[in-house]
Amino acid sequence: MQLVDLKLVNFRNYDSINLKFSKNNIIYGKNGMGKTNLIEAIYVLALTKSFRSNNEKILLKDNSDYTKIVGTVKDEINNNYQINITKSGKLVKVDNNNYKKISDYISKIKIVLFNPNDLQIIKDSPSIRRKLLNVSISQFDNQYLKYLSNYNKILKQRNSYLKTLYINSNMSKDYLDVLTDQLIDLGLKIHEYRVNYIKSINKYITKIYEDICNIKDISVEYISDYNELDIDKIKKKYKENQEKDMLFGITRFGVHHDDIYFKFKNKDLKEYGSEGQQKNAIIAYKLAEISVFKDNIGKLPILILDDLFSELDVEKINNILSIIDNDIQTFITTTEIDKINNSIIKNSKVFHVTDGKVEEV
């Protein structure tokens, strides 16, 4: 899979640009010039959302009513993808065909992104790690995204009805039972996807981590209320929690509380690992995703390494670059192009970004 070209109109600090890419691409320039804006546009084209903010309005250039991202992606054939975002909504197209459901669009362009903010994933809240899982799995199978969307709708309805029952305890609990059964059904499907995905990650992450920093014994553990429970035991748990759920007005049991732990020598890396070990674990996880893509769908994603060189020493960077599959399309952003090996530069298209202007060098 390869992004052939990209056109932006009124995106962040770009008025209008039209770029053509190769297999290897380096984007360099000083901070604040628009390097990350450029790879953010690629990410939005793939997943319809930014990795930097949930507020889509900030993607529109100042005083603009809309932004447009258009790209040609080469897979078995070339397809033209387009995202139009206005202050009132979003429209997605493939080859000029409108997609009413975003979930039908997502999973068409496969992408793996490393961004310096990802280094906080281990230290951050469980919701951030669930988002990491959800973004990854939804690219393999958009049915997962549909299950997740329906689950969140049912969860919202259940929480609302719990509050109603607390206010009026004489109301029937039959509707609550219906919502609970629906939540369990969807939760079991989501749980199965997540279990299988983490198994796939663990197939590769240990070896990749060792290749990066010559240390073994890294793994990822999936934590879920549903782990090792059959459907009858799960239903029993919801019944046991029902009174407290009504008291607090929230569903206190379910896959919406799932988490993943990064473990080193069977200890939680968040509590026992150094900052360097945590950084390397996240990068190993991202690189493991590439192998999972290849195994599951027989395709390589587009790989974006945003400002990797500011976070790691030269030895580890060279180790990472040597691991990457030669056939994968890469986008590397940096402020220090002199840190990149000359052989990589010679085999790449190089773009210099200056205040919203992009020049091919």
In the predicted model, what is the mean pLDDT of the chain?
Answer: 92
Measured CA to CA, the distance from residue 98 to residue 105 in angstroms comes to 10
> Is 49 strand, coil or helix?
coil
Alpha carbon separation from 213 to 22, 209, 316 (Å, rounded): 30, 6, 7
Measured CA to CA, the distance from residue 231 to residue 184 in angstroms comes to 8
| pLDDT tens digits, 66-102 | 999 999 999 888 889 999 999 888 999 999 899 988 8
Whether 329 contacts 303, CB under 8 Å: yes
Average pLDDT for residues 253-270, to the nearest whole number?
93
Say which amino acid occupies 330.
T
Based on the number of CB atoms within 10 Å of its own CB, is 100 exposed (0-12), middle (13-18) or buried (19 or more)?
Answer: exposed
Average pLDDT for residues 233-237, to the nearest whole number?
96
pLDDT number for residue 234: 97
Tokens at 349, concatenated: 């298209």
Whether 27 contacts 71, CB under 8 Å: no
Average pLDDT for residues 292-308, to the nearest whole number?
90
pLDDT number for residue 310: 76
pLDDT number for residue 338: 82
Q: pLDDT-based confidence at 342, cuts 50/70/90?
A: confident
The answer to whether residue 108 scores a pLDDT higher than 80 is: yes
The answer to whether residue 252 scores a pLDDT higher than 80 is: yes
Q: pLDDT-based confidence at 205, cuts 50/70/90?
A: very high
pTM assigned to the model: 0.92
Alpha carbon separation from 117 to 41, 53, 306, 332 (Å, rounded): 17, 12, 10, 16
| pLDDT tens digits, 42-71 | 999 999 999 998 888 899 998 899 999 999
Average pLDDT for residues 260-286, to the nearest whole number?
89
pLDDT number for residue 328: 94
